[in-house]
Every structure is written in structure tokens, then in C-alpha cells.
Structure 1
């Protein structure tokens, strides 16, 4: 596969920190349920478009992630216009690195064999009337 583009609908979601549970002297680490649900959703969106294809093992990959956040309801018409022209960008949570981490972990073993194949990445934040995360992956030649 040379490249693929897919969209994850809904508000951008970032990878949450692992949780810890104590059982006597034993501590169990686990991923929060919301994170695992979003990772499954990302994988399903990829699989729907990929139709069984995946990138070759040890093939260098370039990933572009654009997270579109919802426009706040209290936004004035003037500010809304600037937002839609991408002159005002979101400075809200989730952080870009957490959005990217969730995408990488969700696609590890699904789109590629291991995320160490990622050699280049770009993650961006914008506002939109249609909150979503667009993901574009291509093999570097």
C-alpha cells in the first residue's frame, strides 16, 4: 500500500494516562476504558477504508494528522469567520501529542507492524463545524 486517508468522526480525543489499581502488594496498570474505546474506533475507521491492506514491515511511514475541534457556541459572527478562515486556531485540550499517541497506538499492529516505522509526522489543530480527525499515511520512498 502506498498511501491511505481516513477520517475519525467526532471530537478529537487524546490518549489518557494509564490508571493504577492496588491489590494488596500488587499494582495493576491498565488503560482507561474511554481510551480503549477510541482506539477501537480509530482502528475500525482505518480498516473500513483499507479493506484488509496494511503497510509492509519496516517500510518508513509519514503520517499527517489534522484534528478539527468544535467551534465554541458562544463565538461571535466576526470571530467565527476568522475561525473558519483558520486565522484563529484552538488552544484547548486534548494536547496534540496525546491525539497523535492515541492514533499511533490504535493503528499499531493494524495499519503497520510496529510504530517504530514512523519516520515523519505532522499534527495540526483547527476548528470546524464538523469535528473530526483526518489521518493521512503514506510510505516514504
Structure 2
């Protein structure tokens, strides 16, 4: 079993939930809810027939557009020799991965606790988006 697809667009990080106090009541707000819904809608055509319940390995590649400073001139499409491959700025890789895990939770997998292995990286690419591969977690022995 393997699902592999790309969700186009600039990768987003999960924003922390906020709690507001109104009198004696606490109200929890998820500032990422609209973005997670939009992301899920883009991924739905690739979903499994039923949410997966087995141990899963998830590979994520977050592809960011290159800034103009990586190119040789104003209208050049040629990269400078020292243009980096890896995206090392914000957002953090773990918050990007949390956004994907939370967005696909309940639709692609029963609960994100079944994800046993995550491989995530941030790179520069000509087409921004998130490459996602979901597969059965490999079995191996450590003895």
C-alpha cells in the first residue's frame, strides 16, 4: 500500500491554538483551521477508501520557491553557483509536518498516533508545494 501525491502551494506551519478567557469560560481557537480545511480539500482526491489503521511511514518534502537573490540577474532563470538546495529559514520543519499530520487526520489515517515513522525535509524548488508519500511502516529487527 502506498499513496503518493503533491499538494501545490507554499507550505504552511501549524499555528498554536489560542485560549481566550471570557468571564468564567475559556474558549479555544485553532488559527490554522481554515488553512487545514483548504489543504485537506486539495488532498482529498488521493485519500484511501477508508482511514488507515496500520503502522504508517510518512515522507514529506516541503518545496519552497527560491527568492530572487538566488538567481544571477533580475530576469535570469539561471541560479547562482552558491544558491542553496536546503531551505533553512522559518517555518520550522516540525511545525510544517504537524500541519500536514493534523490536516489529514481522520481522513487519511484513523488517528495520527498510527504514524510510526516520519521523514521530512525543506528544499528550494521551482514549483512550491508539499510532496507526500504514505506507506506501511517497514518491519525490521534490531537484533
How far, CA to CA, are the matches of 1:73 and 1:131 in structure 2? 14
After TM superposition, the score normalised by the length of structure 1 is 0.84
Residue in 2 aligned with 1:56? 52
After TM superposition, the score normalised by the length of structure 2 is 0.83
- Provide, for residues 78-127 of structure 1, a one-character-per-residue CA deviation record: whole Å limited to 9, x for no partner: 754554xxx53111111110111011111111001111110111000100
How far, CA to CA, are the matches of 1:81 and 1:115 in structure 2? 41
C-alpha contact (below 8 Å) 2:52/2:108 kept by paired residues: no
C-alpha contact (below 8 Å) 2:63/2:129 kept by paired residues: yes
- Structure 1: state its 5+ residue gaps: none
Q: CA RMSD in A?
A: 1.9
Does 2:29 correspond to 1:30? yes
- Structure 2: state its 5+ residue gaps: 73-77, 139-143
Residue in 2 aligned with 1:16? 15
Aligned partner (choices 91, 95, 101) of residue 94 of structure 1: 91
- How many residues matched? 133
Q: Which has the higher helix share?
A: 1
